[in-house]
């Protein structure tokens, strides 16, 4: 008989991932926590080496979990990175890293773990972002990767309908995690590899974006974890759960005419008055 209380989650050592692992554990689930390095979550949590950007690592993780349970209640694609900066200032390897983790990674995880989800009458839960539906300037790489995850999820939902396997999108708003600080560090390192004159072209854009970002008040990771666990536990989960300021972005910006939406975005980020 399939173990309907077993759950796999990727990106377990980040803010949302760690909070979700802990909440799942407290709710009585057997948690398989995918990690890239050493980690210890205590009783009820099985640490599984899993680098979503490495297909061989994903396959090995699926083989291990399949040797311990007959099925999964859910696979949660939570692992993600943020690559930020104007397209012209984002090196090719950073673009690849963004897509490998945020888009190709979830595809690999679904492909390898789907037999366990099918056996457990489970569901796929993908952690997306509002940028997947509304492309943000200076977040083009992130927006492209999350738009890819959005499209992947919508297609997968139809492909798996024959087995009644739900595919759920979780759309957090600004959240209090270290991922944004890491993104800033990676951006500065990447720009250090680019000519100073090229970076100087965007000095006003970068300053405006930094100032606008400081105005955002990120929400707690616990709220996101609660919604993810709700999607795991629901007998009929919704297609999409939006959290925090993602509700405003989804409810308002997606419905605006393109020209007006562009003006709202550039105005909110302080980019509308910038000229060469």
pLDDT of res. 107 = 98
Residue pair 31/69 in contact (Cβ under 8 Å)? The answer is: no
Full pLDDT tens readout for the chain, 276 residues: 344 589 999 999 989 999 999 999 999 999 999 999 888 898 889 999 999 999 999 999 999 999 999 999 999 999 999 998 999 999 999 999 999 999 999 999 999 999 999 999 999 999 999 999 999 999 999 999 999 999 999 999 999 999 999 999 999 987 776 655 665 666 677 777 777 888 888 899 998 988 888 787 778 899 999 999 999 999 999 999 999 878 777 778 888 999 999 999 999 889 988 888
> Is there a domain that residue 1 lies in?
no
pLDDT of res. 242 = 92
Residue 153: its H or E element: helix 140-159
pLDDT of res. 178 = 60
Q: What angle do CA 101, 94, 103 make, to 5 degrees?
A: 25
Structural domain boundaries enclosing 237: 6-268
> Is there a domain that residue 275 lies in?
no
Residue pair 21/228 in contact (Cβ under 8 Å)? The answer is: no
CATH code, 189: 3.40.50.720
> Is there a domain that residue 276 lies in?
no
Number of domains observed in the structure of the chain: 1
> Is there a domain that residue 273 lies in?
no
> Is there a domain that residue 209 lies in?
yes
Residue pair 4/73 in contact (Cβ under 8 Å)? The answer is: yes
């Amino acid at each position: 008989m399939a173990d309907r209380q077993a759950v796999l989650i990727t990106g377990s050592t980040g803010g949302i991932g760690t909070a979700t692992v802990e909440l799942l554990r407290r709710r009585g689930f057997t948690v398989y926590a995918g990690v890239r390095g050493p980690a210890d979550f205590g009783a009820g949590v099985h640490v599984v080496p899993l680098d979503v950007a490495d297909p061989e690592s994903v396959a090995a993780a699926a083989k291990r979990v399949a040797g311990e349970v007959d099925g999964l209640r859910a696979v949660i694609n939570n692992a993600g990175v943020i690559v930020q900066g104007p397209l012209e200032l984002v090196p090719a390897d950073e673009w690849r890293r963004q897509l490998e983790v945020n888009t190709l990674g979830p595809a690999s995880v679904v492909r390898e773990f789907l037999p366990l989800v099918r056996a457990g009458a489970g569901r796929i839960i993908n952690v997306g972002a509002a940028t997947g539906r509304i492309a943000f300037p200076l977040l083009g790489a992130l927006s492209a990767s999350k738009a890819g995850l959005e499209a992947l999820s919508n297609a997968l939902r139809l492909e798996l309908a024959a087995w009644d396997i739900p595919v759920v999108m979780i759309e957090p708003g600004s959240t209090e995690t270290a991922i944004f600080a890491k993104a800033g560090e990676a951006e500065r390192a990447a720009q250090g590899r680019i000519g100073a004159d090229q970076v100087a072209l965007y000095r006003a854009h970068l300053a405006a974006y930094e100032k606008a970002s400081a105005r955002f008040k990120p929400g707690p990771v616990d709220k996101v974890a609660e919604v993810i666990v709700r999607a795991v536990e629901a007998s009929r989960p919704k297609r999409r759960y939006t959290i925090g300021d993602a509700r405003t972005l989804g409810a308002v910006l997606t419905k605006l005419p393109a020209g007006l939406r562009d003006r709202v975005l550039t105005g909110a980020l302080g980019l509308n008055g910038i000229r060469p």
